[in-house]
Amino acid sequence: GQYMRGWWLRVRGGDSGVLPVVVGIAGIAIVFQILNSRFFEPLNLVNLFSQSTVYMVLAMAEIFVLLLGEIDLSVGLVMGLAAVLVCELVQPRGANWPWWAAIVVTLLICAAIGAIQGSLVARLKMPALVVTLGGSLILEGVTFIVLSTSGLVSITNTGFPNERALYDIFNGRFDPLVGWIALVVVVGAAGGWLWLRDAHRRRSGLVAPPASLTAMKIGLIAVSGVVVVAICNVNRAHYGTIAGLPYIIPIVLGVLGLWTLLLQRTRFGRYVYAIGGSPEAARRAGVSLVGIRTWSFVLASVTAGVAGVLFASWQVEMTSNIIKTANTYVLLAVAAAVIGGTSLFGGRGKTIHGILGGLVIGMIYNGLYLMGVASWWIDVTTGGVLLAAAIVDVVSRRGATSGAVTRV
């Protein structure tokens, strides 16, 4: 009870966490199910999550920069260029690289792009808005050049193993039994880590949730995992058999886990939050503003490169239309991060917010598409949700400020 009262006081003080977006996801799901009974069908739910993964990963990329109080307008074009490059490198009549080497080189190129932009922002103190806007225009031109030089770039699931491996990243799936085994391993590892972490904090006299709440968290993870695997294991084919957990789900969860550990459990992560909260205070405390800012842009670009690999596997064919899509996706990435709970003013946000916000974007697109709504109404709805999330961010910050003044 005492812990829950403390949580409620934090919510009233402006630190609402993921509560608004979780309530929003539940509300959106209920509304769309009422409007269209196919929304909760296994086929639609699996497609919904799979197609939302690009939004999720791109939102996680944007979060690295938003935490600093900056914005990166180039992540969409980094994604587009990465998609074209990774497809080009596995072409059997072209470079014909192994699929894993193509992905590694693509991510290294993305890291170099982030390092250049981060250095301009951190060392020359140029506005991130200007640097990344210029970077997006350059990347748009480079992507056009690559496409015009090589022509239509595509991948298939037959004939060539490297193309097929890249194709299966988004379209492949595990055997149903493998999905259940993976669930047991993930829940056991995550549950054990949560229990040992909270137990260690309690023994050390630090603030930690009670054991009952930790057990509830582990139980929620287990139940959620069972539901996801059970839905994925339902035969989703109209003819034949399509069942099993898609490869894309553990890939995205792996990115989430890695970046969560980096931001929540390392010195680098603490420095990122410190700079986002107050750059001058962080500098006086001995934090290297230049290094942390530069690395944040590098990680944002690398994560956008991962989104590009997923996008290439999803779209299969790379045409000039990818430029328009990439320009749209950068706006959706910012929208997803803010909708998920990341602050536009820096210092507050988690990578899980990218997952939740990306899921909201995906649900809006999927639900309105099932209803046969025109595409411009989808944009209007997404923009309205973004404005609502931004209003919640501003109001919550004012509440936190007024609460701090009252306590003083």
Those residues whose C-beta lies under 8 Å from the C-beta of residue 74, and which sit 6 or more positions away, are 113, 117, 132, 133, 135, 136, 139, 301, 304, 330
Residues of the chain with pLDDT under 70: 11-17, 150-151, 393, 396-408
By the 8 A CB rule, do 304 and 162 touch? no
pLDDT at residue number 246: 93
Q: 0.85 exceeded by the pTM?
A: yes
pLDDT at residue number 92: 84
pLDDT at residue number 94: 76
User: Is 329 strand, coil or helix?
Assistant: helix
Q: CA geometry: angle at 78 spanning 76 and 81, to 5°?
A: 110
The continuous run of DSSP H or E covering 317 comes out as strand 317-318
Instruction: Sort 54 into a burial class: Cβ within 10 Å, 0-12 / 13-18 / 19+.
Output: buried
Phi, psi for 203 (deg, rounded to 5): -65, -30
Q: What percent of the chain has pLDDT over 90?
A: 53
pLDDT at residue number 317: 82
By the 8 A CB rule, do 72 and 135 touch? no
Q: Which region, left, alpha or beta, applies to residue 156 given φ > 0 means left and ψ of -120 to 50 means alpha? A: beta
The continuous run of DSSP H or E covering 313 comes out as helix 289-315
Q: How far is residue 15's CA from residue 235's CA, in Å, rounded to a whole number?
A: 42
pLDDT at residue number 404: 45
Distances from the Cα of 8 to the Cαs of 4, 19, 214, 219, in angstroms? Answer: 6, 11, 18, 22
Phi, psi for 246 (deg, rounded to 5): -60, 145
pLDDT at residue number 16: 66
pLDDT at residue number 402: 53
Cα-to-chain-centroid distance, residue 119: 24
Strands 153-154 and 317-318: antiparallel
pLDDT at residue number 406: 41
Half-sphere exposure of 345 (CA within 13 A, CB side): 11
